[in-house]
Amino acid sequence: MLSFLALCVALAGTSYAVASLPKNSVGTQQLRKGAVTTVKLHKRAVTTTQLSNGAVTTSKLSPDAAARIAGLTVVKFTFTVDPMTWGVASVPAPAGLTAISGGIEAPHTLNSAVMDTHPTPTGWEATVMNASDLGETLNLYAICAKAEMAAQPAAASSHGRFMPRGVAPAR
């Protein structure tokens, strides 16, 4: 009998909420952070895995959403690491911007190793090694945005650089 009473109270509360809340009254501000996850979405909901590259651009977003992500600049520096060497590559952030993220891409290779990647006061830097008998072409990226930072030294150049540092260990 007690469980039946609990069920009635629970259903009455749900019915009251459905009947008394105005249409479209629950929005982003009423949801807790993390309350909506992919597993809680309808099975036909569109998620990032179903979107093709370039399907969502800032021109297709609401002005508010576009403003929140506007201002990001991706800087790419392509360089070649000679056979059996390692070195440090760097790419400067454009004037007025700060590197907030970055990384390295090694297309079509299993012979290169990323030993380190990190921000610098003027951009993004990566230490890489090529343990193959052939030169390896890599791409270093810096994702830059306007950010308030302490005084920064000026970049020596507006182009990326790669500085060989030594011989890679034998395989």
The closest alpha carbon to 103, from 76, 80, 129, belongs to: 76
CA distance 139 to 89: 9
Task: Report strand pairing: 112-120 vs 73-81.
Answer: unpaired
Whether residue 59 has pLDDT greater than 70: no
CA distance 162 to 78: 9
What are the percentages of helix, strand and coil residues in the chain, rounded to 5? Answer: 20, 35, 45
> How confident is the model at residue 92, as a pLDDT?
93
Alpha carbon 125 to its chain's center? 17
> How confident is the model at residue 134, as a pLDDT?
87
> How confident is the model at residue 169, as a pLDDT?
61
Whether residue 6 has pLDDT greater than 90: no
**Model-level pTM greater than 0.75?**
no
CA distance 105 to 29: 39
Query: What letter would DSSP give residue 56?
Result: S
pLDDT single digits (tens) 87-119 = 899 999 999 888 988 999 887 667 788 888 999
> How confident is the model at residue 67, as a pLDDT?
47
pLDDT single digits (tens) 140-158 = 999 888 876 445 555 555 5
End-to-end CA separation in angstroms for the chain = 75
Query: What letter would DSSP give residue 82?
Result: P
> How confident is the model at residue 7, as a pLDDT?
45
What are the chain's domains?
Answer: 71-167 (2.60.120)
> How confident is the model at residue 2, as a pLDDT?
53
> How confident is the model at residue 45, as a pLDDT?
74
Query: Please, which pLDDT band fits residue 11 given cuts at 50, 70 and 90?
Result: very low
